Structure 1
Amino acid sequence: LTTGNTAGLPAQGLTGFEELEGHNDLGQGVSSVGYTLQDINNDKVPELIFGLIDYPEGKGYYGRDIYAVYTFVDGKIKFVDEGWSRSRLRLLPQDMLSKRTCIDDNDMEWMLEMKDLLRDGSLRQGETFYTKVEDGRCNVYRKYLDVNDTFVTQKTSMHFDDMMNIDLGAQKLELLPLAEYSSRGFKGLVMQHLNCMGLHELQDNRVDLSAYEHVYVDNPSQGAEVLFSSNTSLASFEVLDLQGDSSRVIYSKGLLNPEEKLVLHLESFETDPEFDYETVIKNGICFRDDTGSLRKFAIRAKVMDGSVYLEEID
């Protein structure tokens, strides 16, 4: 793929790559593609996902549009699904694949399918939305499983644009540039290992926090309480105060191990006056990844629902 020569390769999974190459010089399209390993069917074996790198953040590369997904079943690689410009494949927050496909030549009739990847490598059909032009109007229909496990179709009051935007909240995948495979392998992927959430997001407020180490900013009263952990060791780990021109270290540890969990008592989240859909950056974390690169992440919250997330920064 990195040479631009796909002759002799299996057709499945190449549509998006070949579409990119058709709009670029040989090898140039693939330079904007990355790959990641992420377990999306909870079988403890990660899937191989190729996607379009939309933008760099900090020292990482991120994107949402997926070109191909492969899994591993009974000792063999198995193709799962692929996406391209008119058949957009994404991964929703619940690890469900969504696929938005144009089904006519006038760009008016579309279908958006949501499917689960099962452990045997097959896809289980979930909720589906599709549009249909009727009497000069574009209506949206929903197909779903009812309580009797029977698929039911109903006409909705949903607007065309609303259906087209269902997958806007898809996961932002951290990708390694395909062109760097020979030099990096799978080193440098960190986001899939980090777990960060607000204490208020816990479904069970009786969770025992005695096993957590508590880290406090100077004045945490009426602040934000955030749970942080990683499923891999993090070297040179620090919690930072990011306000002002320089980063002040609040807490540091030479090696944060996977079994260690932190409760971060931080400054309260406030809406950014310039962007009413974002919060002001006040605190963050940093560490060195397995390539030795220093990675820094701001701790932010979504204005709409208050959910906490990490955003890589320089």
Structure 2
Amino acid sequence: MKSKSLIYGLLISLIFVLLSGCGINKIVPGLIDSDKKETTDIVRTDANAEEQTTSETTEITTTDNISQTEPEKPKIDYTKIYTEVLDSYYNLILSGSEDYQIGDGKMGLLEAISFMETNDALASVGYAIQDISEDGIPELLIVAIAEKDNSVAYGNVILAIYTCVNDEPVFSFEGRARSSYRYIGDADFFYQGSNGAIYSIFGTYTLTPDGLSLTCNDYFFSYEKDDNFQEIGFYHNNSGIWDKSVSEELAISDEEFWQIESDLLKQIQNIELIPFSQHSPVSEATDTIGSEVNVHWAEDVLDNSSVYDEFSVEQPDPEVRVVFTTENNLQNFKILELELDNIDDLGNISFLTRELFALDELTSERFIVANLTYFETIPQYGIAYIDRSGTTRYFALELSGKDGSLLLSEFRQ
């Protein structure tokens, strides 16, 4: 009986447990629903956050795209920036030091053209605009012309260098006869100097990245070892100072010292130049005072692809062939026959002219080839054209007494 009662009690307890379990199951779905709501809200909140993030990302991306597609800044015309400097060199060559105030960078030029006729001087100095300091800003290099190849001028002796700061030309350094710089590539220069018969100096310098100055790499020089001047020593430093007290004395022979200089000379490189004879300076009165027409020997510029008009003088066998070109479109271009009219007290020549050939417009796309008789000492041929200011300009065709190149020399009519 007791056993039955015990079993009955256990059954009753089990039923209560089961009933209790059913009650919890009924409550839990309610909690899960609530949790689902909260979870859903959370998910929705996350979705909103994702939407917001996506929106922000889109906005950022869009902004970046706009920034990337902004129009580039217009390129700076450094030729215009350096025009005033170029004009000053051109005018100095024309007038000489007597009528011109000598400033920075000009002394080397005057030394280079001393005792030259004006036309030869214009053809013996050139310039280049290129970024040798590699800072993104081209420098202006004034250089002595050493040679010509197919009418292209080259040189390496630096007369002056300018750079550009805030769209204004700034003088950097100059070279002179007894303190010269020659280009050896990149931003480097070979230096040669002299302080007297026994004092020789050479070395290398580098143009600073801003193009404003030079830094010394190596500076070699000779100097007497004592006050008796009986023995000459060789010295080196990296400061560019001609002072043996701050330099290292080199234990080398004369031959070894000069071999160092010889090895550096082998590094010299030519720079392609525009001769000042081809420069057209700006003038308030006439817009330009230099020739806008260039003249070349035909064999130097013509090839099978050249497009040109041709003219021949009325002679049985013309002896020379020249080419006239321009970078601008010029009106009323003429080839003239010249006859000496007068030479005034200042040496200015005037000519009588006769038209041989006329073209309504000379353009950069088409050359004019002229077959002429050989040149005399006094010019017998010339050209005329109307420049961009509407002024008629006259130029005599001459040979350079220095290298036989062709020159155009302006005269007044």
Q: TM-score, normalised by structure 1?
A: 0.51
Indicate the structure with greater strand content. Answer: 1
Asked whether the 8 Å contact 1:140–1:160 carries over to 2, the reply is yes
Structure-2 residue corresponding to 1:181: 279
Cα distance between partner residues in 1 of 2:366 and 2:132: 27
What per-residue deviation string (whole Å, max 9, x for no partner) do you get for residues 94-127 of structure 1?
A: 32133211122x1533243523323162323332
Asked whether the 8 Å contact 1:98–1:115 carries over to 2, the reply is no
Structure-1 residue corresponding to 2:176: 84
| 1:162 paired to 2:251 | no
Indicate the structure with greater helix content. Answer: 2
Amino acid at match of 2:248: Q
Structure-1 residue corresponding to 2:147: 55
Change (3 A) 1:137 1:62: farther
- Paired residue secondary structure (2:112): helix
Cα distance between partner residues in 2 of 1:15 and 1:96: 22
Asked whether the 8 Å contact 2:198–2:223 carries over to 1, the reply is no
How far is 1:49 from its partner? 0.6
Amino acid at match of 1:123: L
Amino acid at match of 1:63: G
Asked whether the 8 Å contact 2:119–2:277 carries over to 1, the reply is no
Change (3 A) 1:154 1:33: same
Asked whether the 8 Å contact 2:236–2:249 carries over to 1, the reply is yes
More displaced 10-residue stretch of structure 1: 59-68 or 121-130: 121-130
Structure-1 residue corresponding to 2:230: 136
Corresponding residue to 1:126 among 217, 221, 231: 217
Structure-1 residue corresponding to 2:131: 39
Cα distance between partner residues in 1 of 2:292 and 2:195: 39
Cα distance between partner residues in 2 of 1:24 and 1:107: 30
**Greater RCO between the two (CA within 8 Å, min separation 6)?**
1
Cα distance between partner residues in 1 of 2:174 and 2:93: 18
Corresponding residue to 1:12 among 100, 104, 124: 104
Structure-2 residue corresponding to 1:311: none
Unaligned runs of 5+ in 2: 1-91, 240-245, 281-290, 294-304, 306-363, 368-413
More displaced 10-residue stretch of structure 1: 170-179 or 15-24: 15-24
How far is 1:39 from its partner? 0.8
Asked whether the 8 Å contact 1:100–1:111 carries over to 2, the reply is yes
Asked whether the 8 Å contact 2:154–2:272 carries over to 1, the reply is yes
Q: TM-score, normalised by structure 2?
A: 0.39
Cα distance between partner residues in 1 of 2:96 and 2:268: 31
What per-residue deviation string (whole Å, max 9, x for no partner) do you get for residues 163-214 of structure 1?
A: 43323412211111111112579xxxxxxxxxxxxxxxxxxxxxxxxxxxxx
Unaligned runs of 5+ in 1: 146-151, 186-235, 237-289, 294-314
Cα distance between partner residues in 1 of 2:181 and 2:277: 22
Asked whether the 8 Å contact 2:216–2:238 carries over to 1, the reply is no
- Paired residue secondary structure (2:219): strand
What per-residue deviation string (whole Å, max 9, x for no partner) do you get for residues 108-155 of structure 1?
A: 33243523323162323332222223363443222138xxxxxx7322
State percent identity of aligned pairs.
23
Change (3 A) 1:138 1:114: farther
- Paired residue secondary structure (1:179): helix
Change (3 A) 1:114 1:137: farther
Asked whether the 8 Å contact 1:2–1:30 carries over to 2, the reply is yes
- Paired residue secondary structure (1:28): helix
How far is 1:27 from its partner? 5.2
Structure-1 residue corresponding to 2:186: 94
Q: RMSD of aligned C-alpha atoms?
A: 3.1
Corresponding residue to 2:167 among 75, 79, 86: 75
What per-residue deviation string (whole Å, max 9, x for no partner) do you get for residues 33-55 of structure 1?
A: 11111211111111111111111
Asked whether the 8 Å contact 1:116–1:125 carries over to 2, the reply is no
Larger Rg: 2
Cα distance between partner residues in 1 of 2:366 and 2:179: 38
Cα distance between partner residues in 1 of 2:198 and 2:206: 23
How far is 1:17 from its partner? 1.6
Map 1:98-113 onto structure 2 (within 5 A): 98-104=190-196, 106-113=197-204
